[in-house]
Copies of this chain bind each other. A is one copy, B any other.
Amino acid sequence: MDPNKKPVKVGLLGLGTVGGGVVNVLKRNAEDITRRAGRAIEVVHAAARRLDAPRICSTDDILLTTNPMEVVENPDVEVVVELMGGMRPAGDLIRRALELGKPVVTANKALIALEGGELFELAQSHDTLVAFEAAVAGGIPIIKAMREGLAANRIEWLAGIINGTGNFILTAMRDEGRDFEDVLAEAQALGYAEADPTFDVEGIDAAHKLTILAAIAFGMPLKFDEVYTEGISSLQQEDVAYAEELGYSIKHLGIARRREEGVELRVHPTLIPSRRLIANVDGVKNAVLVWGDAVGPTLYYGAGAGAEPTASAVVADLVDVVRTLTADPTHRVPHLAVVPDQLTDLPVLPIDQVKTAYYLRLQAYDQPGVLADITRILAEAGISIEAMIQKEAGEDESYLPIIILTHQVVESAMNQAIEAIEALGTVRSPITRIRVESLAG
């Protein structure tokens, strides 16, 4: 290594958990990182909300400020790392850095999912780049794997457990037979869930990440607004148990699938066969299953959040940026896997055109002919039944739980069938309906 090569000087926006993790990892593994990057990487200037806040990292040798724009505009700062989160002022700071021709590394999934297209254009016009490995699935190098490692493939679909909080809750509901609210309270106490858990449990965080993964998988623009999003907050303990009885696990998946008519982009609770590797990804861990036409199924597993796993992705991006600084910009890895003017504006299918199998749980009056009516309606809608369980009614109940697994059907047909069944008068409304994916090909 050329001993005259100066360290790359980094400006850090945000000194919270992840920011502190980045400082710690860069310091602890300085020698290894320098051996890999060919140059040392040093944080020289950092912005924090409060200068006197307690930190997980040492800030010796780092100039501190409460004004993040000062860091961005510091002429010594060559690369800007944004770890503040949120849309404002993060977006404006990144835009300013790009205008100054400085590459940006960010973990901000909401910002990339919503405004990434604009940021990438700005980066390109200033001959620089935005790196965002840490925005999806924490420390798992999933963006690199898809964008570079699977570059030979036409990616047919992907399915990911991309929200650790949700997966922690579902795992505890299954393994401990507990209810959603109960586990959520525990997750909040453990610090896995926010005081306002909406982003996690209603699937918005997963939708941000799915937006990014789908754009890279299919070489299409970021379309967060068109992602169908359904959370796990209304999931019942009994459905988790019945799913297990049928040989399935319920996971909160982000799914992107290529269809002839367009692409499916959806986040929802999903039954998947328990023998699948991804069905066994438990607790706060993340995993993404990617199906390429040449490689077949590949899976990437690891920590989806946390200070050091996220720092792992941020620092990997920094190493990449150091290498990229000397490359012909036209031959850099494109932000969304394909060169910018070659993005394909694939239409996103509305959810009622999506095709999946279904798990239905009905509460039917315990009287002759009800089951016959239900199966007739399903048959008339062209929905074939893969498995059915009829449960005994409890002692003082006049309703029988009936659990049905169907084969694949277009969602609009299923909606109509469900309406017809609910109109029978012999089945209690609403019918519980959870989508099923075999994830087999």
Residues of A within 8 A of B (CB): 1-2, 21, 25-26, 28-29, 32-33, 35-38, 133, 138-141, 144-145, 147-154, 219, 277, 280-281, 292-303, 308-309, 311-316, 318-320, 322-328, 330-334, 337-339, 341-342
Contacts and interface: CB of A to CB of B under 8 A. Distances in A.
Contacts of A327: 323-324, 326-328, 331
A331 B323 contact: yes
Contact of A145 (B149, B281, B334): B149
Contact of A36 (B138, B151, B324, B326): B151
A291 to B, nearest CB: 10
A139 B293 contact: no
Contacts of A322: 331
A330 B2 contact: yes
Contacts of A298: 139-141, 300-303
Contacts of A293: 28-29, 308
A141 B152 contact: no
12 contacts: A21-B294, A28-B293, A35-B342, A141-B298, A144-B148, A144-B149, A149-B316, A151-B319, A298-B300, A324-B331, A327-B328, A327-B331
A149 to B, nearest CB: 3
A440 B9 CA distance: 36
A281 B298 CA distance: 12
A316 B148 contact: yes
B299 A295 contact: no
Nearest to A298: B302
Nearest to A22: B152
Given A36-B334, A150-B141, A339-B1, A300 B299 contact: yes
